[in-house]
Amino acid sequence: MAKSKKALIDGLNEDLANELGASILYLYQTSVATGWDGEELREFLAPEITGEMTHAIFLAQKIADLGGKPTTVPKQHRSPKSVKDMLKYDLKLELEAVENYRLRTIQAEEAGEIGLKIKLEEMILDETGHAEQIQRILKGM
C-alpha cells in the first residue's frame, strides 16, 4: 500500500472515531440537558446525532473500499455539565472536524481520490454549518 494511501486511511479512521464519539456525546447531551436551554439543545442536537452517524457510515465504507479496516472505537469525550459548557465544547469539536477534513481533502487529492476529496469538502460544509449554528445559539445565551 502506498504511503499516501496509508496516511489517508489512518486519517479517515481518526475522523471515524471522532464521528462515532460525537454521536455518542450528542446522544448523552440530549439525554441530560435540562431547563429551557436544555430543550433548545435537544432540538438542535437530536438531528445532529443522525448526521454524525451518516458521516461515520460513509467514512467506514470508504476506509474499507481503500483496503483499510474501519475502527470500532469511538473517541472519548468529556461531559460538561451546563448546557452552555456543552455547546462551547461542541463548537470546539465542530471546528476541529472542519480542520481535520480540510487536511484529509489534501491527503485525498495526493492519493488520487478526487471523489473522496469532493465528499470531504461537502462534509466540511456540514460541519461549518453546525459550528455557525452553535455560535448563534451561544451568542443568545
pLDDT tens-digit readout, 82-114: 999 999 999 999 999 999 999 999 999 999 999
Domain boundaries, the chain: 3-69+77-139
Mean pLDDT lowest among 37-46, 59-68, 100-109, 121-130: 37-46
Give this prediction's pTM.
0.93
- Burial code (b: 16+ CB inside 10 Å, e: under 16) for 35-52 equals eebbebbbebbeebbebb
CATH architecture of 3-69+77-139: Up-down Bundle (1.20)
Express each pLDDT in 126-141 by its tens digit: 999 999 999 999 998 8
- Give residue-wise pLDDT tens across range 43-58: 889 999 999 999 999 9
